[in-house]
Amino acid sequence: MPSDAQLKQILQETRVIAMVGASMNPDRPSYSVMRFLLSKGKRVIPVNPGHAGKELQGQRVYACLADIPSNTAVDMVDVFRKSEAVEAVVTEAAAHLPYLRTVWLQLGVHSDKGAELARGANATMVQNRCPAIEWPRLGL
């Protein structure tokens, strides 16, 4: 797990976030976290195959990470999926996102194999954390 100093650096330096499992439902955590990150000046690209082509909070929704244009410098993938899905998400991210630096797993999401895959792609893995909680906790 990254230290608080590393978490702070990740949150400060991240510019473009692909949010896997983004929901159109305002009652879902991914919706409010997306709104929070957008309010902090981050570009958030929602990824959800059930809503591909639609707009979510003013952003175009993509079906999968591979569909995000290759010239988009996604440096973080924020995962709102079950732990069992993490390996596939990290594998896809490593294959299609050349600027990937961080894979962030939301509260309750953990994957040792996903962390190993992220390290293999030279990315940092943050597990069982929420950027919308860490941001104020770290005094950002």
101: CB partners within 8 A, 6+ apart: 10, 13, 14, 75, 76, 122, 123, 124
Domains of the chain with CATH codes? 4-137 (3.40.50.720)
What pLDDT, on a 0 to 100 scale, did the predictor assign at position 138? 97
What pLDDT, on a 0 to 100 scale, did the predictor assign at position 61? 98
- pTM summary value: 0.95
What pLDDT, on a 0 to 100 scale, did the predictor assign at position 70? 87
Regions of the chain where pLDDT drops below 70: none
What pLDDT, on a 0 to 100 scale, did the predictor assign at position 1? 82
User: How far is it, in rounded angstroms, from Cα 46 to Cα 61?
Assistant: 5
Q: Which tens digits make up the pLDDT trace of 44-71?
A: 999 999 999 999 999 999 999 999 998 8
What pLDDT, on a 0 to 100 scale, did the predictor assign at position 109? 96
Residue bearing tokens 């050349």 = 98
What pLDDT, on a 0 to 100 scale, did the predictor assign at position 8? 97
The upper half-sphere exposure of residue 58, i.e. CA atoms within 13 Å in the direction of its Cβ, equals: 7
User: How far is it, in rounded angstroms, from Cα 17 to Cα 14?
Assistant: 7
